[in-house]
Amino acid sequence: MPLTRYRAIHEDDELIVFLKTTDSDVTIFAFNNHGTIYPTPQVWGTDFIEKTGFNAVVFMAKKRNWFPACAMFPAIAVVQRHLGATPFSFALGNSMGGYAALKYKKALNADACLSFNPQYTIDPAGCSFDGRFSSYWTPDMAGMDIAANDIDRHAFVFYDPGDPQDSGHVRILSTMPGVHRIPVFHTGHVTLRSVVRGRTLSDIVDAVRTNSADVAAQLHLLLRRSRKSSFDYYHNLANELLARHHGRMFLLLVDAMERHSQLKPAQMERIRELGRETPRPPALAEAEAAGRLPEPPASPVVLGRGSGAQPGHAAPGQTAGAPSSRSRGADGPAPVRRFRPRRGIPGGCVRLGLAGASLGLRPQEGSRQLRPGAPRILLRERFTASVIPPPRIAL
Taking residues 325-331, report their average pLDDT.
Answer: 46
- Every domain of the chain and the residues it spans: 3-226, 232-311+336-388
Compute the distance between CA of residue 242 and CA of residue 277 in angstroms, rounded to an integer.
10
Candidates 3.30.365.10, 3.40.50.880, 2.130.10.10, 3.40.50.1820; CATH matching 3-226:
3.40.50.1820
Which of 113-122, 124-133, 255-264, 272-281 bottoms out in mean pLDDT, i.e. has the lowest?
A: 272-281
* Over residues 124-147, mean pLDDT: 92
Residue type at position 230 = S
Distance from C-alpha of 220 to C-alpha of 195, rounded to nearest angstrom: 11
Q: Where is average pLDDT lowest: 175-179, 253-257, 290-294, 373-377?
A: 373-377
- Note if the pTM is more than 0.85: no
- Say whether pLDDT at 365 is over 60: no
pLDDT of 43 higher than 60 = yes
How far is residue 393's CA from residue 248's CA, in Å, rounded to a whole number? 25
Q: Residues 165-194: pLDDT tens digits?
A: 999 999 999 999 999 999 999 888 988 887
SS3 string of the chain?
Answer: CEHHHCEEEEECCCEEEEEECCCCCEEEEEECCCCCCCCCCECCCHHHHCCCCCEEEEEEECCCCCCCHHHHHHHHHHHHHHHCCCCEEEEEEECHHHHHHHHCCCCCCCCEEEEECCCCCCCCCCCCCCCCCHHHCCHHHCCCCCCHHHCCCCEEEEECCCCHHHHHHHHHHCCCCCEEEEECCCCCCCHHHHHCCHHHHHHHHHHHHHCCCCHHHHHHHHHHHHHCCCHHHHHHHHHHHHHCCCHHHHHHHHHHHHHHCCCCHHHHHHHHHHHHHCCCCHHHHHHHHCCCCCCCCCCCEECCCCCCCCCCCCCCCCCCCCCCCCCCCCCCCCCCCECCCCCCCHHHCEECCCCCCEEEEEECCCCCCCCCCCCCCCCCCCEEEEEECCCCCCC
Write down the pLDDT at residue 295: 52
pLDDT per position as a tens digit, 348-364:
333 343 333 334 333 33
pLDDT band at 281 (very low <50, low <70, confident <90, very high): low
The pLDDT-based confidence of 129 (bands split at 50, 70, 90) is: very high
Percent of the chain residues past pLDDT 70, beyond the cut: 69
Which pLDDT score is estimated for 293? 56
Task: Give CA–CA dist 395/393, Å, rounded.
Answer: 6
What are the two backbone dihedrals, phi and then psi, of residue 77, each rounded to the nearest 5 degrees? -60, -40
Peptide bond into 39 cis (omega under 30): yes
In terms of pLDDT, which residue wins out, 157 or 322? 157
pLDDT at 279 over 70: no
Which has the higher per-residue pLDDT, 75 or 260? 75
What's the CA gap between 263 and 99, in Å, rounded? 31
If one compares 262 and 270, the residue with the highest pLDDT of the two is: 270
pLDDT of residue 304: 38
User: In the structure, what pLDDT confidence band is assigned to residue 242 with cuts at 50, 70 and 90?
Assistant: confident
